[in-house]
A and B are shown apart, each in its own frame.
Chain A
Amino acid sequence: DAGVIQSPRHEVTEMGQEVTLRCKPISGHDYLFWYRQTMMRGLELLIYFNNNVPIDDSGMPEDRFSAKMPNASFSTLKIQPSEPRDSAVYFCASTTDSNQPQHFGDGTRLSIL
């Protein structure tokens, strides 16, 4: 079975540009999570969805970040405009239930110059 699929794997762009990260959860998983990981702050939950509806976006750092889930098989995380401090690895994860283990994608390594 395919796991969580994220794209792109790597993104390097200049500050001020719009960045779009994509995620396809495991089929049948009703929960989708976006995380950011840095050396300084570790793994941080940004937002999560249940049945395509955003449930908790309290971890989204600021208005420059937005996330959508138009259907059960696709989600995007956008940063506009991007800043160097947004450089991090962004992970998407999915699960069947909020009490069950989450399955992570390979992550997107984002560098903002």
Chain B
Amino acid sequence: RKEVEQDPGPFNVPEGATVAFNCTYSNSASQSFFWYRQDCRKEPKLLMSVYSSGNEDGRFTAQLNRASQYISLLIRDSKLSDSATYLCVVIFYGQNFVFGPGTRLSVLP
């Protein structure tokens, strides 16, 4: 089983929709969590950190569930410009960044 798993998608949603992605991780000895966004033929860019209490940044909400070992990303009122691949990242104790395979999102007009 891979350390970090994501549904590859693609998720095709209409503009204005709410969409949620989950990311599961296999090792409970995890330290930090992030969501990155990667546009086609571009580098990954930090979208937001994920805190234990959950956190929100505009239309984006990230949550962590340590008991079930997953993190989630919720996008409300999706825009065409949200179309990208979303990568979750887990830092495990004693290791470094482990990227998930990414979930592709296409927001359709």
Contact = CB atoms under 8 A, between A and B. Distances in A.
Interface of A: 33, 42-43, 45, 48, 56, 91, 98-99, 101-107
B31 interface: yes
Contact of A45 (B87, B96, B102): B96
Contacts, number: 34
Given A42-B102, A104-B45, A98 B87 contact: no
Contacts of A104: 43-45
B97 interface: yes
A43 B31 contact: no
Contacts of A42: 99, 101-102
Given A42-B102, A45-B97, A99 B43 contact: no
A45 B97 CA distance: 8
A56 B96 contact: yes
B102 to A, nearest CB: 7
Contacts of B87: 43
Contacts of B102: 42-43
Given A98-B91, A99-B31, A101-B49, A33 B43 contact: no
Given A99-B32, A101-B34, 12 more contacts: A33-B96, A33-B97, A42-B101, A43-B44, A45-B96, A48-B96, A91-B44, A101-B49, A102-B46, A103-B46, A104-B45, A107-B43
B55 to A, nearest CB: 14
A48 B96 CA distance: 9
Nearest to B98: A45
Nearest to B45: A104
A40 B18 CA distance: 29
Nearest to A104: B43
B45 A102 contact: no
A33 B101 CA distance: 18
Given A98-B91, A101-B34, A101-B49, A43 B43 contact: no
A42, A56, A103, A105 — most chain B CB neighbours (10 Å): A42
